[in-house]
Each structure stands twice: as structure tokens, then as C-alpha cells.
Structure 1
Amino acid sequence: MFIHTRKILFLASALAVFLSLPFPEISRTAVSVPVKEPVLKPSPVQEEAERYLSRYLMQYHFRQLAVNDSLSREVLSRYLDELDESKSYFLASDIEVFRERYARSMDDEFLSGKADAGFYIYNRFLRQAREKMRYMIALFEKGGFDFTVQESMELKRDKAPWPATVQELRDLWRKEAKYQLLNLKYSGEEESDDPRKALIKRYRNRLSILEQQNAEDAFRAYTMALTTSFDPHTSYFSPGDFENFQIDISRSFEGIGAKLQSENEYTVIHEVIPGGPAFRSNLLKKGDRITGVGQGNKGEIVDIVGWRVNDVVKRIRGKKGSVVRLKILPASQGNKGPARIVEIVRDEVRLEEQSAKKEIIRLNGRKIGVITIPAFYLDFEGQSRNKPDYASTSRDVRKILGELRKENVEGIVLDLRNNGGGALEEAVKLTGLFIPDGPVVQIRNSQGGKVVLEDEDPAVVYDGPLVVLVNRYSASASEILAAAIQDYGRGVVIGGRTFGKGTVQSIMKIRRPFNFIYKADDLGQLKLTVAKFYRISGESTQHMGVKPDISFPSLIDSEVVGEDNYTSSLPWDVISPARYSRTSWLTGADVRDLRERFTQRNANDSLYSRYVRDLAVLNGFRKKESVPLFEPAFKAEMERIRSFEAQWSKEDQPDILLNRSAAVVVDMADLSGNRLPGAEQAPWQAEKK
């Protein structure tokens, strides 16, 4: 979530310029390389950008990190994890050299704006990565794998040691080759008729990509490690990258309607845009890894592992109405299960699909209104021009509440699941529909300055039973609303703990102090964290998110999704509370009563019991740390996973949490004497005309 830069910080008019030291020699390679590899070096423009980048981070970032050897070790560790999370490229001897050279000097390079360490390590990575691709190709060409041997491959090696010898490293590669062959053979893909040929083509493609790597790729990787050492949402954009980041909204939503980001070698679904074809198809989820892209219903699926994310986006985008096929590793299985092919028809985002929607659930003769909000949207241009029908979450929900009142519903479920946020102004206004005037959220900058955003309208549009549904994908503005409803005691929050993104980012242009020759923005842009959100109770939503009043087990893997999974995440903390008064709607005893009824209802529910059992099976898949390379065992494992996934992907699966939440609304109505509290004040008539 962004707040205008000028409201928070002022740019310095000039920054000091430092000279770079000579680029060090590349160390000997542990695996023989048959060709002379080019050595990448930072360009003068990149070195200049690095000098300004260090100053901007130190002056304007919310986290005032001490620049010392501790920062050196943090950046180095993060960089190595980014390049070689699987511990299958570098040797232990490489890591020893890197630590000896840079574990105490990266902070000095940071202060002087140098990128020599980043390029030194990246060059070594490229040499090892190219060697691995050549070795894998040779393995597939030779063939002769023995799948009767009782051995396995580690799926999660982030905490494993780096291989001590070349033989250990090559043994990892051999096992990976066997795994790829088995996976392709039993994945059900068309190309699996000849897995070896398909994999030879795949690895040749990856080798070609590695051979085309340039200084921009090295600089991008190193600056990512540097910026994310401050916090996970701070990043640098080169002029070319920022052009893609800044694409006009109508263009950025072409294709499948999903935002992508790069994580290690993979392109990952960062966000599914409400209203887009991916959203409507329900085939992609946040965290899914895309490993291949094919055009049309039968086009060849091209392996895109290791590609630049901008190149992947270009391949996924296309003419409206055309088909794109994606090969994904589902996040639901911890990206470990068999790959799945999904087919999506390209289209534009339909704004009406992004809008708040209503439905009515009938439960034992009782009518409960449901309002689903995919995002906090606001047509800023329409608002500035005073258009009478400009799109606004709060305006649409206000209208829906009136319609549901006419339907004589007994309460409301506000569904914020998978809502990643949006316009902060709308979160404040939407909260104001359910409470009298008062504070909604606090914002604090690094200097301790605090701003309190308030609902200034004393009218309460709806004062009946209210449940707010959240899950691990509910973030930012969704967390602000859920937290305010909880702090005021205005309703009950049900679901899973929210994402925990309680930080504010701002985009800053990196400017030279004197700009007679170059463009003002030719050194790129920096998106950095400048402030944090806090509940009116004083607690931050950062890191811990919002804990629901009534918890419900989730299909989302909380060990993968959530702010607390980022090692550089800003901490949870507390500031002084805002001045506010709780409503008289719910007491602590009421919430405990509702929680007890919810638990008892689930204990006698066979559908819920089945849900919990299946969730336990799914978590078992996610926690697997190895996979058998003994073919009969591998085949049985893949068939079991596919069978389970087919069962869960049925479209007729009931929304258990929504149905159980409607029952809680009925309980709330019963607690209030089977009427809408405040009805005598006619709150529905209090809305502004």
C-alpha cells in the first residue's frame, strides 16, 4: 500500500560520490568448464545507481539498520540463498571463499556504493549453473538410469550443507535427473512419451538462457538481496524494469490477470487480479510456480525455469480470446507434487468482477446476507472529477446493505478472503459503515511521527450481526478493516490468521544532484518501506496479522504464505492506542459463547470431519522432505497425490467456512433477542443522500 512520498519524506538535494575499487579476479572453478566463460562486470551507470541506492536506503527506509559486519553477513547469506536455495550449485569450498572475502566487507562496499562482491559471486554461480546444465544434458543423452535402486531425493535442501566435493555435487545432479524423468513419465503430459528427449530439450533451453545472462541480471539479483535485507517489500527497479512495473493498468491486466514475481529460478504467482480470467477460472493461486508456457490448445509447452520474469510475462500475454496453457507446481502441495497443466483464455479484467457482490444464504429458514469484496477498489480519476457513478468499494457496499435490508436478512457476512488490499481510503470508509465516527488505523514513520485516519461520518449504515471472514491471503487494507471491527467489538472475525503486511511503501526516483545531461529517472526507482500500520488498540498488524476470534483450519499453507515467513520482515510492536470507545454490540463473554457454539456444531458435523481429515492428508504432502526414486514407489505416490487433488478440485465442493459463518450470524441474532440491535434508530435511513 502506497502513501504519497511528499507526505512522508523530503529528498536530499545532493549525495556524495564515491570511487570504485578494482574488480577482483574470479577464483578457480571446482568443475571443469570446456569453454572460456565471459566475466560480467558492473557498468558505470550501475555503479552510480548503487552509490545512490545505499544512501536512499540509509536515509529513508523505516528500518534504521546499523551498517556493520552483521549487515554484511545478512546480505551475503540472503544472496547465496537466492542463487542457490537448493544447495546444488555451489560447493562448500566456494562458500568458504565467499565468506572469507565478503562476510566483513559487504557493508563497506554498501557504503561506497560498489557491487563488486555481487558480481564476483554471480559469475561463480553462472559457471556452476552452466556446468550443471551441460552435465544434466549428458546424463539424459547417455541414459541407463537404474530405477530399481532404493534411494530418494531431498525435496527441501535449504537447511542442508553445501556439497563438500564435486562427486557429492554430481550425485545430487544425478538424483535430480532421475526425479525429472520419473516426474515427467507419470505427470500425464503429452510430451512424456519420450521423457529423455523432452528433458534434453528443456535443459538445452536453460543452458541457452544462462549463456545469455548479462550485467543487468547480475545487478538485479544482487540489489534484490541488498534491498530485501532491509525488509521484503523494498526493491530496486532499473529504468527498464520500472517501465514494466509502471505499465498502464489496462495493459497490465491483459493476458491472464495475474501479477508475477521471480523467486530463485522460478516465476511465481504473486497475486491473482480480481476480475481477471485467472480469477474467474479459479485455476491459479498465489504461490503457484509456473514452470512452462504453451500457446493455444496444443502448442508446445516451453520450459521457462530460470527466465527473466519480464520475458515470462511477454509469453503469457496475448490477444484477447486466445488460449495460453501453463504448467504449474501448485502451492497447495508446497510446490512438491506432480505438475499440473491449466488452460486459460486470455481476456481483460472485468471491472464488474472486481466489484463487491451479494448473495443470500438460507439456513433453517433464516436469511443471511453475504457481501464478497475481492479488493478495495477506487476510481481515483472519477472521484477527482466528481463523477456520480465512480467505482468505490464503500459506495457499492453501502448500496448492497440497503438491498439486503429490503430482503429482511438477519445479519451480514463480510467476506474478505483472498483480498490482498487496495485503496486505504476505502478501507477506512468501509469500516465507517459499521461504526460511529472514530479512528480506524494509525500510521507511524521511522521518526515516530503518527497520523490517525478516522471515519468522520457519525452515521452507522448497518448495526446488525456482523461476521468478517478472513484467511492467510487477506492482507493490508483487509487487515485494517478486520482489526478495527475486532477492536471496536463491532463483529466477529472468523477464519485463519491474516497475512501480516502492516507496512507502507513509497516509490522514489533516484536522481542525480545535477541533471544537465541525463534524464531524471535514468538511474531507476526505489520502492522502499517508509511507515507501518497500527491498530487503534496500538498493536501493529505487521508480521502477526489479525488473529481471528473464531479460528477455522485452512487449506492455505501458513508455513509458506505470510509475512512471518520472510526472514527480513519488520517486527510486530506496539504504540500508544488511539482514543476510541468500544461499541456495546459484543462482549468478551459473547465471543466466547459464539466460539463454543461454533466448536460444538463442528464436532457433530460429518462434512467438517471429512474436511479436517483431508486437510491432514494435504499437510502430509506438504511436509514431505524427500521423494522415492524407486519407480514403483514413485508411481504410487504420484497416483495418490493426483487422486487427492482431483477430489478437492471438484466444483461442487461446498464452502464450509462460509456456511459455518452464516450459522454464527444466526447465533449472534439469537443472542440479541432475534432482532437487529439499533433498529429503533433506523440506521439504514441514516445514510447520506
Structure 2
Amino acid sequence: MRLQYGFIALLLAIAPPAYALEAGAPPVLSPNEQQAQAANLSSEFLTRYAYKPVPLDDALSAKIMDRFIKSLDPDRSLFLQADIDKFMADRTNIDDAIAAEDLKIPFSIFNVYSQRIVERLTHARDLLKQNFDFTAQENYTLPDDNGTWARSEAEINDLWRKRVKSDWLRLKLAGRSDEAIRDTLDKRYKNILERVQTYKSEDVFQSFMAAYTTSVDPHTDYFGVAASENFDISMKLSLVGIGAVLQERDGYTTVRELVPGGPAQLSGKLAVGDRIIGVGQGEDGAVQEVLGTRLDAVVQLIRGEKDTVVRLDILPADAGEGGSHRVIDLVRDKVNLEKQAAQKDILPVEDAGITRRIGVITLPTFYEDFDARQKGDKDYRSASRDVAKLLDELKHDNVDGVLVDLRDNGGGSLSEAIDLTGLFIGKGPVVQQRNAEGKVKVQSDDLSKPVWTGPVGVLINRGSASASEIFAAAIQDYGRGVIVGEPSFGKGTVQTVVDLDQVARNSEPKFGQLKFTVAQFFRVDGATTQLRGVTPDISLPGLSDPKTLGEASYDNALPWTEIKPAKYKINTEMTAVLPKLQSLHDARVEKDPDFQRFVEDAAELKAQREKRIVSLNETERRNEMTALTNRLKAREQEDDSLLPRPDDGLQADERGLQADIAMENARKNAKDVLRNEAVSIVADQADLLEQAR
């Protein structure tokens, strides 16, 4: 599964330096030779070896153009129709450009995009000099990708007038003075302008290649050199560095979090909120100032080889901008990203005087340290290995059942999905793969017996994709456990990653990696999870929007299909108790106030999401605020709801770091209504299976 966003979203999400010079003309970016070569080499693979090869012709060229423009201006608030008309003159020429290793077309479009940002945000800052009339009956229609581009400067200026007015009203409703509002918004828009100055040619190329690869199919992707490193880290769950999560705040590279057990945390020299203003290499290396340097570039300076020294010039969290700073030395080491690894909890469920203890294993991704495994490291890190250890611990804790929480697990290693399934079913087929030639291969787990033989539940949502769906589908097909939650994502394709530098025999990383689809997987019952996903046995309400999340949201997704089933044995014992599980669930949630509030809040969020028109009338907006406040007051003695708290009008980077962290912790610690109900379902399953025996 991949996340897609436009550059404007990136601009709004990351605060650039507040101390930079006033934004002038944006830099004019141009492609380099190795980028053009990487695009051409990628096209060789995609036209020859993809599961469904798509010729690089005029038809694909048009799709690439459309996707590239959409990635830059997703809500059609930057370009004019005249810009689009000019771009469209080259709509069918991109294929020829890639073949000729000439990427002037996308770069010229991006340079226009940068100029339009400067023009729009300069206009937005000018608008702050005036006063707005909030008594007028006026609405702001939220832009989207289904609209049209403005045909004149006057039309787009009016769109931005309403956008700025909406931003102003949000802050006004939060109780801020006109002076404070003007300062906040001016800084916000100025930061966006300054971000344009930091764009590099790699950004343009990455965005263009994303438009190309996703035009072939939704899950084909390209990783530049830096992106390749991050992909490897996500699979290994480890890196070599200092163990600090960094964030850009108010123009500084700021420490957001210290990884437990990492060099920074163990040294005691670095604290949350400290700002890094310089980085040096080695014990005696000169410290390079990083004020105004992009976060990704600072991260690259801090990472390095194990047991080497990095020097950091630190402005402490409690020091003002002109405060004294200090230089610290840290020795880089391997940092394990434990927060992204499998975790366990034990939750009690009381019913009719009987307490069931259910083990909950939360698995964020199907990770595997490929390199360590290939080198023969017997202790290599993987999802299935970690879960096997947790299952052994839960057996010693005498739990009555296990719930595997795969919500928002977008997948990962296919072999890990197979191995994880084996922990619950033992030896047997798990998934079938069909390659581009139509040959079907049944992939099985060879574990002689399962690690866990007790009751099992799997909790999924719309964000559960790929490897998560393989595991959930196998558990369902075998009748091994109960699947609970929302219908899953619907990604039924298999990708492989090719190192383009190895193909080209480059001695240094230049070309990056290409991830492309090579096969489609099918359940052991013969159906694919493609498009339709896994349908839960017991449905729970969800918060996602199927229009924007899921395979069906892609316009070029492969269709659903099926093949011959594999040979496997169904556990009819589990199938027999499903109707009773459903009735027990229905009766319980009908009386559960927490669950009913969740249903109510989910419906409200859906209504808000579908609302495309925002009133710019202060009285109407205050009435909406009052209604929300009244609903929240009615729950004062109750647990936190999904309903948003009164809007403070600020973006995340405009709040204090501690306030931002507190809000994040509050969300994490809020009652998990869906998990609690899934745990109760597994407890019911334990009761019913025990009675049946």
C-alpha cells in the first residue's frame, strides 16, 4: 500500500525555516544525466517484466502527465487553465522523452508550479493587510481534484481570498486577536514560500517517477537513493545513527523523541526539545551549520557508520534563540525501532463472574531483515520470529485466546506473512501466486505444528493490506479464527524490488530502486483479495473513507478474479460457532455506551468529511461550535470520544512541542473501543469452543 499526496500537502505539513530571507524567484531546476538514465532503465523493466506490462506509448504518456499535474496541484488551486493548456501540448510526448533520456517536460512543469506557489502565497500575505467581513453570507467551497482550474487571475485570487478568510475565521473563533491572527498566518504563508527555495532536482524526479510508476499500476513505485535507504530501514526495523526522532519546528531541527536504548538516550546529553544547529563528523571534524538545511539532509549528516563519532551543536530546549549552546559527541550505533515491532498486551474480559484473559499482539508491519537472513545470521529480526516469542510468553501467562491486531498494517514481506500464518495453522498451503506467464505456485508453511492452538481473532481495517490480507484470509479460509473489523484494503498483487545500480553495475548509488508488480496472489480457496479485500466475519464500524483509501479507489487497479483452490483442511468447529459469536456481539454492543458513542461519532465524522462547503459567516460557525461543545459537555464524565475538540485554528508545527506531544499521547491513550470489542469476541469464542468440546 502506498500513500499519495501532493507537494502542497508537504508544504503545509512541514514548517521550513522562519529566519530565511524573503522568498524571491524560486530556483529553476533541471534534470541531471543519471535521472534520465534511471527513468529509461526503469521503463525497460516495466515494459518487459511487469505482471501486466504496459507499453510506454502515447496513451501511457497522457496518464503520466495527468498524474504528475495532480500530484503538484491536487485541489486545483495553483495552476490556471492557461497553464494546463500549455502543459497538454506535451501530453503525449513523455514516452518519447523517457526513451530519449530527456526530462525537460516534467521539470519545466515543476518550475511553473514553483512560480505559481510564489504568486499565490504572496497574494495570500497581501490579503492579511485588509480586514474581513464575517457578517456576510459567504461560503468557501473546499477545492478538490474533480473541480476545474481557474480561468483568470481574478478567479483564482478570489479562491485564495476565501481560503485566507477561512484560515482567519478559524483562529478568530479560537479567541485570538486580529494582531495575533495576522502574525500567525503571515508566518505560515511565509514559511510555505520559503520552502519553495529548498526544492531540489531529486524532489522533481521522485514526483515524476511516482506519476510514471503508478500509471503502470497502483503499487509500482520508484525509490531514489535516499528513499531506498528509508525503505530498507522500514524492513529491518533498525538503522545506524544516534536514536533520535527529529522534526522541523520554527526553523530548527528539533528532537521530537529519543529512542529507548539508543546512543542519544543512553548518553544523557540530548533531550526532547533540544535544537540541532550544527553537525560535525569525527572527534575533530569541523561543525557544519545546518540552520536552514532541510530535515532529510540533516538526517543524512547524522546517520553514518557504526562506532563512528558525530558531533552536534545543540541549542537546549529551554534556551532562547540567542541562548548559549554546546557541542556534544555521540558514537553512532545500531538503533532498533522497537515501537514499530510486534508488541503484546493481556486484557481481561469479565462476563457472568468469569474472567477470560486475552493476549493482544499488535503488529504494525511485516518486517524482515533480508540482509541478515541472507548472511546466515541466526538471530536475524523478523515479524514472525518476534510473534513466535510473544506467543510463547502468552502461553506461559495462560491466556485464554489471542487477538492479532493488524489495523493499518500495510504489509511487507510475503514470506513473513506465510511464516506468521504457520504459527497458527502449522504445515499447509497459505497463499497461491500466479505470475505473468499464468503459472500458479502454491506457497506453504513447513512448520511441523502450530505454536498457538487456542482461540484466535484477527482485527483488520481498511488500512490492512497485502501481507495482512494474506494472513487474515488464510486464518479465515482454514476456519482457524474469527476475522473482525472493516473490509480490508484489497491489495492482491506481489511486488519485487530491483536495485537499478546493481543492474547497471554502478560502483556508487545513482539510480535507486524500482518496486514493480510481478505476480498476483490468491487465497487457498482460489479467490483473490484483489479489489475486494478480506470481508470480516463480524463487522465493526470504521473511520476510513472507501472513496480515498483502498484498492477500489485506484482507477487502474486489477480486477477481482479466482483460480482453482489449493488442497487444505477446513476447521468446521470454528465455522459452527460464528452465528452465535455474531448474536453475542450484537447483544453486547447494543448495551455498550462506549460502542454506541463510537458509532455516533463515526457517523458524524463521515458527515463532516462529505461536507464540501464551509460557512464564512461568524455567527453560523459559532453556532456549529456551540453544538459541538454541548455534545462534549454531555460526555464530561465519560471517556474521550472521536469528536474533535474545539478547533484552535493552528497547524501542528504552530503549537508548542510539549502541547503537540500531549495531544498525540492523549490520542494513543484514549479508550480503544474496537479493540475492546474484538477482545470480547475472542473471549466469547473461547467460551463457545470450550462448551463444544
| Bin of the TM-score, shorter chain as denominator length | 0.7 to 0.9
The corresponding residue for 1:131 is 119
Distance 1:380 1:250 in 2: 14
- CA drift of 1:635 comes to 4.5
TM-score, length-scaled by structure 1: 0.73
CA shift digits 1:221-267 (9 cap, x unpaired): 22221122123333333445545555683247943499x9xxxxxxx
The corresponding residue for 1:231 is 217
When residues 224 and 431 of structure 1 are mapped into structure 2, their CA distance, relative to the original with a 3 A threshold, is closer
The corresponding residue for 2:614 is 627
Distance 1:274 1:421 in 2: 26
State the Cα RMSD in Å: 4.3
- CA drift of 1:422 comes to 4.1
The corresponding residue for 2:471 is 481
When residues 504 and 462 of structure 1 are mapped into structure 2, their CA distance, relative to the original with a 3 A threshold, is same
The corresponding residue for 2:207 is 221
More displaced 10-residue stretch of structure 1: 311-320 or 547-556? 311-320
Alignment of 1:50-449 (within 5 A): 50-99=39-88, 101-140=89-128, 142-186=129-173, 194-239=180-225, 241-242=227-228, 249-251=238-240, 254-256=243-245, 296=273, 310=296, 351=338, 354-364=341-351, 365-374=354-363, 375-378=365-368, 393-398=383-388, 400-402=390-392, 404-405=394-395, 409-449=399-439
Contact map agreement 1:509 1:521 (CA 8 A) in 2: no
Structure 2 residue identity aligned to 1:645:
P
When residues 205 and 383 of structure 1 are mapped into structure 2, their CA distance, relative to the original with a 3 A threshold, is closer
Contact map agreement 1:253 1:276 (CA 8 A) in 2: no
The corresponding residue for 1:283 is none
2:503 matches 1:497: no
Secondary structure (helix, strand or coil) at the match of 2:157 reads: helix
2:492 matches 1:506: no
The corresponding residue for 1:342 is none
Distance 1:107 1:218 in 2: 17
- CA drift of 1:363 comes to 1.9
Secondary structure (helix, strand or coil) at the match of 2:424 reads: coil
Distance 1:214 1:357 in 2: 42
Distance 1:456 1:496 in 2: 30
Match of 1:594 among 577, 581, 585: 581
Distance 2:340 2:672 in 1: 19
The corresponding residue for 1:657 is 674
- CA drift of 1:308 comes to 7.2
Distance 2:274 2:169 in 1: 25
Structure 2: gaps (5+ residues): 3-22, 249-255, 262-270, 277-292, 304-311, 319-333, 633-642, 647-662
Distance 1:619 1:312 in 2: 39
Match of 1:463 among 445, 449, 453: 453
- CA drift of 1:78 comes to 0.9
Distance 1:274 1:563 in 2: 36
Secondary structure (helix, strand or coil) at the match of 1:634 reads: helix
Contact map agreement 2:245 2:259 (CA 8 A) in 1: no
When residues 513 and 410 of structure 1 are mapped into structure 2, their CA distance, relative to the original with a 3 A threshold, is closer
The corresponding residue for 2:689 is 672
Distance 1:253 1:637 in 2: 47
Contact map agreement 1:368 1:665 (CA 8 A) in 2: no
Distance 1:212 1:321 in 2: 23
The corresponding residue for 1:561 is 549
Contact map agreement 2:241 2:302 (CA 8 A) in 1: no
- CA drift of 1:618 comes to 1.9
The corresponding residue for 1:6 is none
When residues 211 and 166 of structure 1 are mapped into structure 2, their CA distance, relative to the original with a 3 A threshold, is same
- CA drift of 1:139 comes to 1.8
Structure 1 residue identity aligned to 2:605:
L
CA shift digits 1:402-425 (9 cap, x unpaired): 554565544333333333434433
Structure 1: gaps (5+ residues): 3-33, 261-271, 278-293, 300-306, 325-346, 678-689
Q: How many residue pairs are counted as aligned between the two chains?
A: 583
CA shift digits 1:510-529 (9 cap, x unpaired): 359886xx646423332323
Contact map agreement 1:244 1:310 (CA 8 A) in 2: no
Distance 1:144 1:126 in 2: 28
Secondary structure (helix, strand or coil) at the match of 1:104 reads: coil
- CA drift of 1:85 comes to 1.1
Distance 1:430 1:274 in 2: 30
When residues 504 and 319 of structure 1 are mapped into structure 2, their CA distance, relative to the original with a 3 A threshold, is farther
The corresponding residue for 1:577 is 565
Contact map agreement 1:355 1:373 (CA 8 A) in 2: yes
Contact map agreement 1:239 1:522 (CA 8 A) in 2: yes
Distance 1:379 1:532 in 2: 24
The corresponding residue for 1:44 is 33
Distance 1:298 1:388 in 2: 40
When residues 242 and 438 of structure 1 are mapped into structure 2, their CA distance, relative to the original with a 3 A threshold, is closer
Distance 1:429 1:513 in 2: 30
Distance 1:386 1:155 in 2: 55
Contact map agreement 2:462 2:544 (CA 8 A) in 1: yes
When residues 493 and 532 of structure 1 are mapped into structure 2, their CA distance, relative to the original with a 3 A threshold, is same
Distance 1:548 1:170 in 2: 48
The corresponding residue for 1:8 is none
- CA drift of 1:378 comes to 4.9
Distance 1:565 1:131 in 2: 33
Distance 2:404 2:39 in 1: 46
Secondary structure (helix, strand or coil) at the match of 1:440 reads: strand
CA shift digits 1:643-687 (9 cap, x unpaired): 532499577754333333343334434443526x5xxxxxxxxxx
When residues 242 and 460 of structure 1 are mapped into structure 2, their CA distance, relative to the original with a 3 A threshold, is closer
Distance 2:383 2:228 in 1: 29
Distance 1:275 1:390 in 2: 20
When residues 402 and 135 of structure 1 are mapped into structure 2, their CA distance, relative to the original with a 3 A threshold, is closer
Distance 2:461 2:570 in 1: 24
- CA drift of 1:391 comes to 5.1
Distance 2:374 2:25 in 1: 60
Secondary structure (helix, strand or coil) at the match of 2:35 reads: helix
Structure 2 residue identity aligned to 1:442:
Q
- CA drift of 1:172 comes to 0.6
Distance 1:485 1:349 in 2: 30
TM-score, length-scaled by structure 2: 0.73
Contact map agreement 2:76 2:143 (CA 8 A) in 1: no
Identity %: 37
Contact map agreement 1:45 1:523 (CA 8 A) in 2: yes
Distance 2:568 2:113 in 1: 55
When residues 386 and 121 of structure 1 are mapped into structure 2, their CA distance, relative to the original with a 3 A threshold, is closer
Structure 2 residue identity aligned to 1:157:
D
When residues 236 and 273 of structure 1 are mapped into structure 2, their CA distance, relative to the original with a 3 A threshold, is farther
Distance 2:340 2:69 in 1: 42
CA shift digits 1:377-421 (9 cap, x unpaired): 556677678877765544554455455456554433333333343
